[in-house]
Amino acid sequence: MRTIKLFIPTSVLLLLIVSCGSSKKMTGQPSGGVITVTTTTTPHYDSLQVKYAVYLNTRPDRIVNLRLYRFIDGWMGTPYKWGGLDHKGIDCSAFMQRLLGEVYDIHLPRTSVQQFFTEWVDKFSGSEYLAEGDLVFFHTQNDRVITHVGLYLANDLFVNASVGKGVSIANLKDPYWKKCFVAAGRVKRS
């Protein structure tokens, strides 16, 4: 915000106020022919920031890792394919492997269970400690084996490649995911 002091005769000031609009908000009071004008400008956000702020129910200025969101956006809607590795179809662990490799330059093993047990991931059980970039692990079958992985974004939301929706954003509080959640993991970055 900046303050500008202008000398404007009162009659000219009234004419300006009545005859034209402005995209800037102006406040101030005339005082003896001198008016103090305070302008505020709206910050410009990247369209990706706005789009994912809506998805994540947050403010655009909170979407700062544009490399991550560009990657996600490029894969959004890609169908799920067990063992798939590309835009024709991809599974959850291949999606995480590619995401972490391309966005963070971190190379993880291929399967979700291998990713869970790798020494490069510090596990924790409480979802209240999650931060953007943490892995979230699930057992989606009736056994207790890790069978699914996603990447936490914000506000209980994570990106994953799921059987029903392909690459999409899901909510940890959804009854299905809540029931299947096993643990989270923070990838060690050197």
CA atoms within 13 A on the CB side of 109: 11
Judge whether 155 counts as a catalytic residue: no
Q: Which residues contact 111 (CB under 8 A, 6 or more apart)?
A: 93
CA distance 77 to 121: 27
- Counting other chains too, the contacts that 26-32 makes at CB distance below 8 Å and 24 or more residues apart are none
Catalytic residue, chosen from 65, 87, 92, 155, is 92
Element (H, E) at 7: strand 2-7
**Both tokens assigned to 10:** 């009162």
Judge whether 107 counts as a catalytic residue: no
Catalytic residue, chosen from 57, 142, 160, 180, is 160
The answer to whether 98 and 150 are in contact (CB under 8 A) is: no
Judge whether 148 counts as a catalytic residue: yes
Catalytic residue, chosen from 87, 107, 139, 148, is 148
State the catalytic residues: 92, 148, 160
